[in-house]
Structure 1
Amino acid sequence: MLSEVLLVSAPGKVILHGEHAVVHGKVALAVALNLRTFLRLQPHSNGKVDLSLPNIGIKRAWDVARLQSLDTSFLGEGKEEKPEQGDVTTPTPEQVEKLKEVAGLPDDCAVTKRLAVLAFLYLYLSICRKQRALPSLDIVVWSELPPGAGLGSSAAYSVSLAAALLTVCEEIPNPLKDGDCVNRWTKEDLELINKWAFQGERMIHGNPSGVDNAVSTWGGALRYHQGKISSLKRPPALQILLTNTKVPRNTRALVAGVRNRLLKFPEIVAPLLTSIDAISLECERVLGEMGEAPAPEQYLVLEELIDMNQHHLNALGVGHASLDQLCQVTRAHGLHSKLTGAGGGGCGITLLKPGLEQPEVEATKQALTSCGFDCLETSIGAPGVSIHSATSLDSRVQQALGGL
């Protein structure tokens, strides 16, 4: 087992195009959001494993000896032998119930906190059981991503945990070389990270699509179609405003609403879904052609696609007055916006073209903040899960983990 401190980060995600249509067999484009979750893992020898999640107020510690004494059937399903390297196990209902006992959380613990702890314990026990003895670790996870906003915060958490635990247990090599500030794992190692992160997502969401953890692992932009996920080649990093309306939404109810509208008006809604699919495909084509020196007319196409998709989503019934207000405010500043995710509130994205003067960006942000929204300037198409040098951290990681 490695003895050095590990510092890992993983991005969140936004849906660029294809919301709701993807449920009905159409293409969706998901992109890595350059708001990241940061993890610091420090091995120690005090016989405990400590987990601190300051964003949601979690600070827990477990005796390694107690975890070690768990019935071997917990993760091996009655098998005494150690699993082979690369084996990825899926949580069973019985394991989840035992994890709840081990977690030792109070009955009134918030669901978000409970699921985060259960996902950690599952990944820790599953990955580290390949060791002769469970390791003593101190793990701190801090995120720039707001939880429950549809930005893939739980996936970034699971990906960061999987990458750090696999590395400290030497299931995958540490890719950092002398002099590196940051590096990434090989394709094969990323595939293993993604598989374990998906199991963490299963602990949290039950039956996830796998899109969020894939985007957080690989970064860039991904195409999702009928369960198949593939990376877009060399997508450009686009500057955006990410606006959180802070209006809560019920994803399940919104999805059901679109389904009901499709059943009620099939000849109206089915063409809308087909058109959204065409928007996703056209956006994929344009992104593939943009390269490192995008042309102004390519940004104009992206803006048109954003406007058309937003109107289609409103026609599907997943808009909201807050999102309409967001679009009106940014349009007044010559910018183009759409909802991202389930709709009904939640978040929206606004494309920022190159050459846009910073005072205009700041004026737009101020106008959105005056509406009661949270607004951040960031980018999409960010790199996936990465490992950082402990001795030459960039300022962003220092700020994220400093003092924790």
Structure 2
Amino acid sequence: MKVRDCLVSAPGKAILHGEHAVVHGKVALAVSLNRRTYLHLKATSDGTVCINLPNIDTFLCWNLSELKQLLPYFCGQREAGQRLDFDLLKRLRDFMGLTNGNLDTSNMATLTFLYIYMSLFGSGELPSLKVSVWSELPTGAGLGSSAAYSVCLAAALLCASGAIPAPLKEWDHTARWHQEDLELINSWAFQGEMIIHGNPSGVDNTVGTWGGMLRFLAGKIIPLSRVPLIRILLTNTKVPRSTKVLVARVKDRINKFPPIMIPVLDTVDAVSSTCEKVLTEMTREPITGEHYNTLEELIDINQHLLNVMGVGHPALDMVCRVTLAKGLHSKLTGAGGGGCGITLLRPETDSAIIQSTMQDLKDCGFDCWETSIGGPGVQQHSPFSIKEEILEILNRYGVPRVTEQEDGLTL
């Protein structure tokens, strides 16, 4: 079959407020990060299917004749949103030689790609194509890198299969899908997250699909229609941590000190709700310094509460001290115990202050980027709209170079 080339991207995510409390029935606010994963799908004619993931040194190709041997086990065009077919997953693991359970990042990413590819194309002729992915998101840092990957895979493969239309018009640089198509993308991306994580909440793939901010409470995910674009510093302490261990630590502390910890959870819930109210106000009226004052106070309060829960870390304390020395306010984001922190940047913050703060954080051995929260979800792009450094990387793996000519864009 003939497939359509597609260049897409999806954002990472950060938890603004509500970490850990959300596990105990409280509100959490998740926001999109303006650091993205980019995927290019290119139709080929060499009888192979290839996946190129340079971030994790993965470059694999299969002959279509190999993949066709699996077709009797796939029903093809399976309905999105249904439970994963674990028999099909097992067959794919066997096909990939993963019988010993060697499911590292590379293998999980490859397994997810093959599962969605075979599910969408398995009812007909398997197309020859090449998928190349590059991400601005570090893996394993709690920033939704796997979800951004799954969202990109779902969007590109659905678009290539004709299940959803390509929203990009000839004159567009970027375009987004309609609501119904986004829901289909999200449902397939959630299946990808189930392959990678087993029992995901669905928050990460929903942020990757819709962008902006969403409210998560008791398993219900509500995307908020409008949120302000807010600048932040994003710092990766590079300290590894186990989300499972940290969640258990909080639970143990609640069981041990319920009269103390239950009010802490209630306060975190109030912080999340207050922040949501402030951000909503910022979309309806002129933004003032008082809005930012409140956001800064909420960040400080929540960071102290997270330390009370037992999920802080000396590296995260260092982030808070370094940034506070420059008048900036920070908190951990995600599971804590290491991982990442976010720092609020006011509109009037001088660029010299930002640069010196970033350098101070890097001198601590951390990675640090200036970015923003609240940006768009999954998008289709023309190659000409992509950052030059990203395009250069993707060019190595099959994206045609773009030149601007008098008559328009030429691939």
Structure 1 and Structure 2 fold alike (TM over 0.5): yes
Contact 2:230 2:374 in 1 (8 A): yes
Distance in 2 of aligned mates of 1:141 and 1:129: 22
Q: Give 1:355's aligned residue.
A: 348
1:126 pairs with 119, 127, 146, which one? Answer: 119
Q: Give 2:50's aligned residue.
A: 50
Q: Give 2:74's aligned residue.
A: 75
2:54 corresponds to 1:38: no
Q: Indicate the SS of the match to 1:125.
A: helix
Contact 1:38 1:400 in 2 (8 A): no
CA displacement at 1:391 relative to structure 2? 5.0
Q: Indicate the SS of the match to 1:38.
A: strand
Q: Letter of the aligned partner of 1:91 in structure 2?
A: L
2:212 corresponds to 1:220: yes
Q: Indicate the SS of the match to 1:360.
A: helix
Contact 2:39 2:152 in 1 (8 A): yes
Contact 2:77 2:119 in 1 (8 A): no
Identity %: 55
Q: Where do residues 4-403 of structure 1 align in structure 2 (5 Å cutoff)? A: 4-70=4-70, 72=72, 74-76=73-75, 83=77, 87-104=80-97, 111-130=104-123, 132-291=124-283, 293-391=286-384, 393-395=386-388, 397-403=390-396
Q: Indicate the SS of the match to 2:55.
A: coil
**Residues 139 and 113 of structure 1: CA distance in aligned 2, closer, same or farther (over 3 Å):** same
Q: Indicate the SS of the match to 1:26.
A: coil
Distance in 2 of aligned mates of 1:115 and 1:2: 27
Distance in 1 of aligned mates of 2:80 and 2:209: 18
Q: Give 1:79's aligned residue.
A: none
User: TM-score w.r.t. structure 2 length?
Assistant: 0.93
Q: Letter of the aligned partner of 2:61 in structure 1?
A: A
CA displacement at 1:49 relative to structure 2? 0.4
CA displacement at 1:91 relative to structure 2? 2.1
CA displacement at 1:397 relative to structure 2? 4.4
Q: Letter of the aligned partner of 2:270 in structure 1?
A: A
CA displacement at 1:47 relative to structure 2? 1.2
What do residues 179-214 of structure 1 show as CA deviations (whole Å, max 9, x unaligned)?
100000001000000000000000000000000000
Q: Letter of the aligned partner of 2:343 in structure 1?
A: T
CA displacement at 1:127 relative to structure 2? 1.5
What do residues 286-335 of structure 1 show as CA deviations (whole Å, max 9, x unaligned)?
11110284211001100000000000000000001111111011000000
Q: Letter of the aligned partner of 1:252 in structure 2?
A: K
**Residues 344 and 161 of structure 1: CA distance in aligned 2, closer, same or farther (over 3 Å):** same
Contact 1:2 1:170 in 2 (8 A): no
Unpaired runs of 5+ in structure 2?
398-411
**Residues 23 and 87 of structure 1: CA distance in aligned 2, closer, same or farther (over 3 Å):** closer
After TM superposition, the structure 1 stretch with the greater mean CA deviation from structure 2, 109-118 or 320-329, is 109-118
Distance in 2 of aligned mates of 1:87 and 1:366: 45
Q: Letter of the aligned partner of 1:155 in structure 2?
A: A
CA displacement at 1:102 relative to structure 2? 1.8
Contact 1:369 1:375 in 2 (8 A): yes
Q: Indicate the SS of the match to 1:284.
A: helix
Q: Letter of the aligned partner of 1:45 in structure 2?
A: S
What do residues 384-404 of structure 1 show as CA deviations (whole Å, max 9, x unaligned)?
000001355453642452333
**Residues 2 and 15 of structure 1: CA distance in aligned 2, closer, same or farther (over 3 Å):** farther
Distance in 2 of aligned mates of 1:105 and 1:59: 17
Distance in 2 of aligned mates of 1:87 and 1:369: 43
Distance in 2 of aligned mates of 1:5 and 1:185: 16
Distance in 2 of aligned mates of 1:323 and 1:341: 12
Q: Indicate the SS of the match to 2:74.
A: helix
Q: Letter of the aligned partner of 2:275 in structure 1?
A: C
Distance in 1 of aligned mates of 2:85 and 2:101: 24
CA displacement at 1:69 relative to structure 2? 2.4
Q: Indicate the SS of the match to 1:291.
A: helix
Distance in 1 of aligned mates of 2:211 and 2:41: 22
Distance in 2 of aligned mates of 1:329 and 1:224: 31
CA displacement at 1:232 relative to structure 2? 1.4
**Residues 87 and 269 of structure 1: CA distance in aligned 2, closer, same or farther (over 3 Å):** closer
Distance in 2 of aligned mates of 1:91 and 1:216: 20
Root-mean-square deviation (Å): 1.7
Distance in 2 of aligned mates of 1:348 and 1:124: 35
Q: Indicate the SS of the match to 1:55.
A: helix
Distance in 2 of aligned mates of 1:271 and 1:362: 39
**Residues 88 and 18 of structure 1: CA distance in aligned 2, closer, same or farther (over 3 Å):** closer
User: TM-score w.r.t. structure 1 length?
Assistant: 0.94
What do residues 308-367 of structure 1 show as CA deviations (whole Å, max 9, x unaligned)?
000000000000111111101100000000000000011000000001110000111111
**Residues 16 and 392 of structure 1: CA distance in aligned 2, closer, same or farther (over 3 Å):** closer
Distance in 2 of aligned mates of 1:124 and 1:89: 16
After TM superposition, the structure 1 stretch with the greater mean CA deviation from structure 2, 114-123 or 305-314, is 114-123
Distance in 2 of aligned mates of 1:313 and 1:399: 41
Distance in 2 of aligned mates of 1:136 and 1:71: 15
**Residues 32 and 96 of structure 1: CA distance in aligned 2, closer, same or farther (over 3 Å):** same
Q: Letter of the aligned partner of 1:287 in structure 2?
A: L
What do residues 31-74 of structure 1 show as CA deviations (whole Å, max 9, x unaligned)?
001110000100111111000110011111112222122252x3
CA displacement at 1:89 relative to structure 2? 4.2
Distance in 2 of aligned mates of 1:239 and 1:69: 50
